[in-house]
Amino acid sequence: MAHAQAVDRRRGPARLQRFRFTLETAEADVHSGMAGGAVRNPLGELMDLACALHDARTGRVKVPGFYDGIVKPTRRELSDFEHSGFTVARFKKDNRVRRLRSENALEVMQRLWTRPTLEIHGLAGGYQGPGLKSIVPARGELKVSCRLVPGQDPDRVAALVAAFARKHNPDVVVELLPGFAASVWKPTGPLAAAVKAAVKFAFGAVPAFVRDGGSVGTVLSMEKVLRCPVGFLDLSMPDHGYHAPNENFEWAQAAGGMAAFAKLVEEVGARL
């Protein structure tokens, strides 16, 4: 039968906060022709929850308080974005994407690099085989994560999303999975100048600083233990297929990266 429960498996704050929502309304699947309309459908209710959490067309998260405290990009950062060489056409080609929520380059960059998200990763349950099997499933599972940005309190966001889901559907089981803390490095001063010089030496172009880094959970630990800022020298390209079949890393980027890191040590020694 349906039941309410909360499970928390977090380990510290999260840059990437992950959730699993499950709903069980029966002990077994039932025939939709015989029981449909009377019994609850967990997949339908989880789809309803997904739509309540965020606007699928715009991507805006509808959980009250979700955007509180975020650090907006400075004019200097936006200028770097605009001079980064980013194009919508190249982004779509590299990621094999047909449609975006916006075709404006700066808007897309801000969505990628400065704004938090809530993404639906999967909806599981019911019949998944060929053809159609007329059942009402007994159980469903919705997989969701939030990409957080500097200025958001991870524990607060996790609590907001969990409380919203429980209020929207008290029978949904909310499970908080381990996540990673957000971090930001200010690209100014002698260290930033050293990075620019090293990248220009290796690749022949002055780099632009953007907010990126995926879900590398060790960054804050490194900053805390080493007591120094941590930034990323991005070398992977979008067409290298992150987390996809045939993920690769081309030699030109690897060779340039080795030259850049060697030059960076020299530049840091001269500037700091």
In tens, the pLDDT along 150-183 reads 888 888 899 999 999 999 999 999 999 766 666 7
Structure tokens at 108: 């897309």
pLDDT of amino acid 226: 87
Q: How far apart are CA 197 and CA 247, in angstroms?
A: 29
Residues 197-238: tens digit of each pLDDT: 999 999 998 888 887 765 666 777 787 888 887 777 778 777
- Please say whether the beta carbons of 88 and 125 come within 8 A: no
pTM exceeding the 0.85 threshold for the entire prediction:
no
Q: How far is CA 133 from CA 29, 97, 128, 170, 224, in A?
A: 11, 32, 9, 29, 54
pLDDT band with cut points at 50, 70 and 90 for residue 1:
very low
pLDDT single digits (tens) 92-111: 998 889 999 999 999 999 99
